[in-house]
Structure 1
Amino acid sequence: MTSIKIIAAAAALTVFAGAALADARPPARAVTLSDFDGTWYEVARTPNSNQGPCTRLQVAITPGSGGAYNIVSTCNRASGSPQVTRSTATSLNSANNRLRFRAASGAAGFVGVSQEFWVLDRADDYSWAILGTPGGNYFWLWTRSPNPANRADLLARVRALGYNTSNAVQTGG
């Protein structure tokens, strides 16, 4: 089974609570996991208690053993010290757009915690991706640039998927 560590472990590996959005849609496009290799930057997300004051989240994705992908997520904290979380992910379906992440190391209390995430939408060239939780509670907007010029357009795409962006945390650039 093909695996990937796509979603920011610092953002992704937690149990989220909150009301689901009734109109949040499941992912429709297939994902080629190897196209997620490299560096991603979180530029916006739903507020959540696990990331708190985490800014400038950078995610490095590399192939691992057995078809798995390794994720190293690094963010800046208010204290000035970076928080690094290492995780793994596996594909849950043949389209590779439903993923399970498991924290391997990093923030205390997260090791071994797993969470399902969906790749809701992506650019044809994998220059951006919208990730979310299955219940429609949380989203993350990732790009290949820390401060993309098309941020407003991408947030409009997130809204079109049924996610509330009115209180989105702007975390990039």
Structure 2
Amino acid sequence: MKTLFILAVATILAAGFACRAAMAASASPPLLTVEYVDLNRYVGTWYEIARYPNSFQKGCLGSNAHYALRQDGDIDVVNSCRDVEDGDIRRAKGRAWVVDKASNARLKVSFFWPFRGDYWIIELGKDYEYAVVGTPNRKYLWVLSRTPVMDDEVYAAIMERVRRQGFDPERVIRETNTTRKNGAS
């Protein structure tokens, strides 16, 4: 009888945790991406304007990313920044690949096999002058621009739109002109 009671309690607890996890997962609506990305226009150099804090960019100033199409259709990635401690340029080389060929807006990126992460393009300027990249769990967010600085009105409008997508603009770290001048450009 005692075993049956313990089994019943364990089942109820497991069901409760499963319901809680399901409710947490559904708290944010699905992350919307742009309809289509022309990868030939997307590749090139992007300057980081803002981002969510993350461990792999800790101590970085003036981050930028360079993307180049490979012959196999994947994308070579080189992320750079200036280390705030010693002033050296830090680089991370990786590879990205499209997982949603209909839109080219959902990619995976890996800097160290077998680890990989989502790279979803959730906004893109009509002339590819800026891009916003996020992850479906809302843990990561980047605002990128083709130029080292972004107009304040454009930035504010982007922050409002990412808020509607379930991101918290209060968590965003914005690059400043000072950090950009000291960055890895």
Identify which range, 34-43 or 158-167, moves more after superposition.
158-167
TM-score by length of 1: 0.78
TM-score by length of 2: 0.73
Q: Judge conservation of contact 1:24–1:136 (CA < 8 Å) in 2.
A: no
Does 2:43 match 1:37? Answer: yes
C-alpha distance in 2 between matches for 1:49 and 1:74: 15
Query: What is the identity, as a one-letter code, of the residue corresponding to 2:148?
Result: P
- Structure exhibiting the larger radius of gyration computed from Cα positions: 2
Aligned residue in 1 for 2:98: 91
Q: Which has the higher contact order (CA 8 A, sep 6+)?
A: 1
Q: 1:70 aligns with which of 76, 101, 119?
A: 76
CA deviation vs aligned residue, 1:61-112 (integer Å, no higher than 9, x gap): 1111211111111011112111101111100012111101111xxxxxx454
Q: Judge conservation of contact 1:42–1:140 (CA < 8 Å) in 2.
A: yes
Aligned residue in 1 for 2:32: 26
Q: Looking at secondary structure, tell me which structure has more helix per residue.
A: 2
Query: What is the identity, as a one-letter code, of the residue corresponding to 2:126?
Result: D
Aligned residue in 2 for 1:136: 138
CA deviation vs aligned residue, 1:7-48 (integer Å, no higher than 9, x gap): xxxxxxxxxxxx876246231421111111211001101111
Q: Gapped runs of 5+ residues in structure 2?
A: 1-23, 181-185
1:125–1:89 distance in 2 versus 1, CA, 3 Å: same
Q: 1:164 aligns with which of 151, 168, 178?
A: 168
- Percent of aligned positions that are identical: 28
Q: Judge conservation of contact 2:48–2:148 (CA < 8 Å) in 1.
A: yes
Matched residue pairs, number?
A: 149
Q: What's the secondary structure of 2:160's corresponding residue?
A: helix
Q: 1:53 aligns with which of 45, 59, 72?
A: 59
